[in-house]
Structure 1
């Protein structure tokens, strides 16, 4: 998706500043995310990318109030400060999870699970809730909604179950929708259809979207801006088109370089990879968390974590850009 949106301001729908989460485990304290800051603007799609284990999902689950742990930082939703978004779940903020079969009750008809959202959150009667469910499903181009309402989740494919989860999330017309790897378990055709559905949601409802994925090619199709995370920290934030065209942070460069190439001449080159693995978040490296794997590390990287630096229309957390520096 072309273009980008400015990072923040008084009119931001969601503002997250210095958000950190500590989880107490039997074998130590896990520093799930560290000093994470970002914004989501009205009507914007923010992509959150990074390798598995980079803290994407745990950060968003903690912001939603779906994960216990010690939290620090400031969250604001429509300008109102709050500890997390738990009080807004279902009505103002909704979430679509990766595996819809695990999110839906296998012993309850789909219609009952959908109408329950409206009776609980909006106080509608069963008949009113059923009419609204059918209306939303028709607007989302769900085929044969009346038949679907009478069936159980296991009677449908993964793609159709994901449509049901998206419809459930949109029933109360939330201002913010968080989608956690919603296309990972789907084939390419269903992926394209689900991405088209998310774009339709934004156009029809004006919904803001946080789209979490490790698949950069999927994120590039839907996100206005992209936030790159690694080991629970933010590495780079910027407009989707420019970030993928000219990545600034060494980690972002590694991710983009590892994408499979379509051109025949490029396919003959060895597929690039980032050596090493994400460190343990119980005992992460001092300084920059990407230090052990970074090909451009300098002495300062080991001393303390880099601060967020504004480089053009990007935010980059890398000491190489201090005082106007740049990667060559």
Structure 2
């Protein structure tokens, strides 16, 4: 039931978030992860509360699966004072250090070196905590990702590298932009790398549990390439611009393997109905909380930008 609940929570959250974008409550739009929920649910189910993750511009699912409060997460998307980061992070930069969510990141591939640094710090601190970093297929063309691969392999850091391969970098097909393969890039550094059915929460959980166990035991990094299909737009901007890079038949075929339905079929119908009802109430409350929450005071715009106040903007400081 736990995996289904997480998948259903993320699906419902994204649907509500899209509605709030259309209503003008969430400014700037979002990158929905509809169809990719199994990756977040399966990987985070293999983690402990003291493990850490770094995420992407399409990161709501990861943040929620790691335990973030849906109401505060929705308020963050809406830019409200009650959000996870007081409305400063928004859709693409949500973080909750208390939960081990070291932040989503709008820069393609940038979450991986951050996770590498976190994994290095975890190992130096002792214990067996692990880090998980998410990135998309488009990130494998970024040099910083390959540099991070080199370091985590060389230093055998406790990190699981999770590629959510949805086949597109925005509207460009990965097959037209990426030479070689994701698995090949990891294996070139000696990193064990495995293909995973990213639509199946249980398949993701099984692969993640093995990778996390390896990291905890000192075996170093593992890469999981999770094949997924993005049901919705790359960004909600597409809902009005309507670029044509996928046919309706292709989208319908991708939707045929729905993580929500795959996992929902594995639990009793009555249990599923009860979970769905509970989540409807939870998400109704999250939306109400976000809409009713105040916007930050403009006078506090520079608060929390620097560790010790806005010293970097003081006269004479370069």
Superposed pair shares fold, TM > 0.5: no
Higher helix share: 2
Structure having the higher Rg? 1
* Band of TM-score, shorter chain: under 0.3
Q: TM-score, normalised by structure 1?
A: 0.26
TM superposition score normalised by structure 2: 0.27
Q: Which structure carries more strand by proportion?
A: 1
